[in-house]
Every structure is written in C-alpha cells, then in structure tokens.
Amino acid sequence: MIERLGGTVTEVWLARDLHLGRLVAFKILSDSGLADPEAKARLLAEARLTGNLAHENVMAIYDYGEVDGRPYLVMEYLGGESLRVQIHEGRTGDLRAKLAIARQIASALAYVHSKGIVHRDVKPDNVRVDEWGGVKLMDFGIAKTDDLSVTGAGFTVGTPYYMAPEQIRGEKPAHLVDVYAFGVLLFELLAGVRPFEAQSVEEIFDLILNQPMDLAPLAQAGVPQGLVELIRELTSKDPAERPRNFSAVIHRLDLISA
C-alpha cells in the first residue's frame, strides 16, 4: 500500500501490483463496513457486476476476493480529478469540450445498459476526467441487474439531486433512471449549477417530484436551444417522455456538436 485515498464504509488505497508493476486502486471494507452485512453484499455485488466490463470509458476491475472476511476489489487507478471538481472550479472548457465529456459518459452508460446493468448513481462525483479529457465512469456500488439486487423492495437508493421521480418513489429501477440522472449531470456541466437546490433531502424530493425544472440557467450560460430541449426531455418527470436509450442520446449530442 502506498497511501490511503479515502472512504468510510469502504477504504480505497493507492497500491502497486507487484507482478506487473502498475499502480492500482485497492478497495476494501472498513471496520465499520464489516459490521454492516449489506455493505459487504454491495461490495461483492459491485465486483460481480463490473468484473467483466471492458470499455474505454468505464473503470476496469482487475481482481476481487476476500481477506480475513473482508471483500476487496483491485481496480484501475485513475489519475486526473472528478468532474465535480472541474465543474466547481470552472475548468470543463468550452462547449465543444463539455460535449466531448458528455458524449463519453453517454457512451459508458450505453455500454453498461447493453450488459443489463443500471448504474443508479450517475453524478459528477462518479466521473473521473484525466488531463487529456478522457472520461471514466466509476462506482457501481448500488448498481443493479434484473437478477441481482442488494436492497429491499421499495428501498430508495441514489444521490438525492440526481434521482429520477420513480427512483424516489421506490419503484423498480429501470435504465431510464440513468437517463434522468445524465440529464441533471448535463445541466450542471453546461450551466455550472444544479437545477435544484434545497436545505434538506425532503425538499429536494419535493422539487423533483412536484416542481418543473427551471431551465433559465442554461439560457443564461449561452447553451444552444437544441441542448436545452434535450435536457428538458432527459429530465422529464414521465419516464415515457425521455429518450429511450443512450444510443439516441449520443446521436442527439453528435448532431448538436457537428
């Protein structure tokens, strides 16, 4: 181990693979996580879900197992910084650079969905951007497939600001919750602010469920109308009104950036 990178329920360490000499990220259940059976189940589920994924915009999992009863993952070490930091510091570049980031995230999600996986926690914190603008989608800790779930029926999981209305209501997660979350992320990437702000989770949920999204910050940021309309569709409260898949989203982004 070289240094601790962070984490609470799980700890993430920078380490070196002694066989190949490469740097890796080593994720292992912490003492507090070990006392939580669901935390252990989530980490094992993440390993099973992502161990066979291979896409240039998805963080790679090299190995997983258990040591002293603690599950662990050996993951691709990602340099750069989170998209959250870049947005906060206004370093996401011009419109073309932002669209390039968005397209890579959409490409990652199209691939993940093709494998039957719903990420359920798409947000800037779970996107890593390197110095050349390369993007990696990460953290599948609450992802779900049709045949695997580590949460009880009706249990709400996700990050409040990016959760779709049906996700808040505890409905069975479908791929369109990721479409909604991507729309919120795209709003934030282009406008520099979240579409909703509130003082409590309850207030956030009320805004998402009952209030129309204010798209004015996008116009104020000079976002082209075609992109504004795309975000309106992505974040529709009615899942049936959203684009059906990320192939359609990528096509729209390509038309706008052409």
The count of C-alpha atoms lying within 13 angstroms of the C-alpha of 54, restricted to the half-sphere facing its C-beta, is 2
227 vs 218: CA distance, rounded Å: 9
176 vs 229: CA distance, rounded Å: 17
Total count of residues recorded for the chain: 258
Which listed residue (121, 125, 146, 147) is catalytic?
A: 121
Q: Kindly list the distances between the CA atom of residue 96 and the CA atoms of 99, 100, 187, 195, 219, in Å, as whole numbers in the listed order.
A: 5, 6, 15, 21, 17
Q: Are 9 and 27 in contact (CB under 8 A)?
A: no
Q: Which helix (H) or strand (E) holds 5?
A: strand 3-6
Any catalytic annotation for residue 121?
Answer: yes
138 vs 123: CA distance, rounded Å: 10
In 3D, which of 28, 38, 37 has the Cα closest to residue 4? 28
- For the chain, the first-to-last Cα distance in angstroms comes to 46
Q: Are 180 and 235 in contact (CB under 8 A)?
A: yes
17 vs 22: CA distance, rounded Å: 5
List the catalytic residues: 121
